[in-house]
Structures are given as C-alpha cells and as structure tokens.
Structure 1
Amino acid sequence: MSSPVPRATAEAVATARAAAQAISDKKGEDVMLLDLSHLLVVTDVFLIASGTSTRHVKTLVEDAEVVLRELGRKPIRREGMDHGEWVLLDYGDVVLHVFDKETREYYDLERLWADAPRIAFESSSTAVES
C-alpha cells in the first residue's frame, strides 16, 4: 500500500510554516508540522512544538499569533493560556499545539498521528525535512 499524498492546502502550509518560523525564532523546540488532511476533515495541518517552561510556551504562542495576525489570520479558538502547559490555537485549517516538555511527552501527539506525513520547513537556524 502506498503512503497517502499530502493534500494540505497551500494556504494552510504557508500559515503553518510562518507559525513554525516564529516559534523557532524564539527558541521553540522540536517544531513539527503534520499534514492531517487525509486523516481529518476538520483541519489540514498540526503544528506541534515545545517550550522550556510555561512562560516560554505562552511567549511562543503569543509571537506565533502576532505573525499570523499580520498574515490576516485570527484564531477561531484559543485554549490553555491560563496554565501554559498545553496551549492550542485553532485557525480552522491549521491547529497549533505548544506544550511544555512534560505535557508533550505525556500526550505524545506525534505517536497518535504517526500516519500523518511531515511537512518540511526551513527554520532560520536549521532545515527541518519530511
């Protein structure tokens, strides 16, 4: 059986890459983009990233939100900013999940969505490939 062809829209991929760059620029860790378009009907891309502390998680999310707002994007839903252990920004076609390390390990979204192809993006410091 061949693997599914990623079908995320160009806008979703561009949005996710812009958010990934913003998070990478602020030292977000283990940034990953997953194409879920062939697995879910509600979204195309998950961005998963980690911060080193709850404050760092909040900063990463705030910076990503500013960058996406400059692109004309506003989140439909925003959850978790009160605690900062797992913050979710839902843009419809893109969902950002930013965790502290312990919470990310516990929920292990990468394992849950292991069938989703990764989307490559160029970070200012390193290239992340699929």
Structure 2
Amino acid sequence: MSGQSTTTPEASPIPSVNEWIDWARAAARAADDKLGGETIIIEVGDVISVTDYFVVTSGGNSRQVRAIADEVEEQLTMLDGPKPVGVEGRDDYRWVLMDFGGFVVHVLDEESRSFYDLERLWNDCPKVGWDPS
C-alpha cells in the first residue's frame, strides 16, 4: 500500500416522500416569487414510476420562464435542497423541464401550457396544496 489514503464521499441520503413534497412546495413558492401563473402540484407517483410529483407553472414570455426556472434552482440550492439531475428546454425557454428526481418542475410559457394542457393529461391525479410565501 502506498501510504496515501483515499476516502469515498458519502452518498447523500435519498429524501423520503414527505421530504420530496416539501421540496416540491419550495419549488412552487419559488415560482410564485417570480409571478409564476397558476402554479399547481400534481401527485403522479401512483401512475408513473419516474417521479412522485409534478410542479406546473407558467410565465408570460420566455424571459419570465427563464427567471422562474432560475429562481427555482437558486432557492432550492439556498435551502440545501436537491440539485436537478436533468434540465431541458433552456434553448428557447418555451417549456423548461427540471428533473429533481422525486419531483419534476415544468415551467411553460402561456401558449405552450395551453397547448400541452398538462392539467388535463393528469386530471385523475390528486392535487397537492401549498401556501405561497
């Protein structure tokens, strides 16, 4: 052995379902801080296996969509929350999808939100209450 010690970084614990909903609510509040429109949380864990919750919100234009997405990531970082494992849609900011593992944040411009109508697609899933900040 060479005398050098190596340590393996400890893996972060996987949040419980209760913690995921708390983080999803924090994301909803962050969106609300940037005037995200009609922000809702949908519990999808019983019908899809990749995540437990969707946070859906909208911005009036691409600049606002960008500001909302940036605020969600910034506030979760400040709260020592989860980091996104993937982000899509930052090329045109019409629909930004931020995958945090236990929840996914969808920030859409108003036209895209109306067209894709995620609320209708997931209408059978329960909505989760949250309090704006």
What does residue 93 of structure 1 align with?
A: 102
Measure, in 1, the Cα distance between the counterparts of 2:47 and 2:75: 27
Q: Which runs of 5+ in 1 are unaligned?
A: 1-7, 125-130
User: 3-state DSSP class of the match of 1:92?
Assistant: coil
Residue 23 of structure 2 is aligned to residue 15 of structure 1: yes
Larger radius of gyration: 2
User: 3-state DSSP class of the match of 2:54?
Assistant: strand
Q: How does 1:1-130 map to 2 (within 5 A)?
A: 9-70=17-78, 71-124=80-133
Measure, in 1, the Cα distance between the counterparts of 2:88 and 2:53: 18
Equivalent pairs: percent with the same residue? 40
- Report the CA distance between 1:16 and its aligned residue: 0.6
- Report the CA distance between 1:48 and its aligned residue: 0.3
- Report the CA distance between 1:107 and its aligned residue: 0.5
Aligned residues: 117
- Report the residue type matching 1:102 in the other structure: E
Q: Return 113-122 or 65-74, whichever deviates more.
A: 65-74
User: 3-state DSSP class of the match of 1:55?
Assistant: helix
User: 3-state DSSP class of the match of 1:67?
Assistant: helix
1:85-128 CA distance string (max 9 Å, x none): 0000001110000000000010111111111100000013xxxx
- Report the CA distance between 1:68 and its aligned residue: 1.2
Measure, in 2, the Cα distance between the counterparts of 1:26 and 1:14: 19
Q: CA RMSD in A?
A: 1.1
Q: Which runs of 5+ in 2 are unaligned?
A: 1-15
- Report the CA distance between 1:11 and its aligned residue: 1.2
Measure, in 1, the Cα distance between the counterparts of 2:81 and 2:111: 33
Runs of 4+ in 1 over 2 A off after TM superposition: none
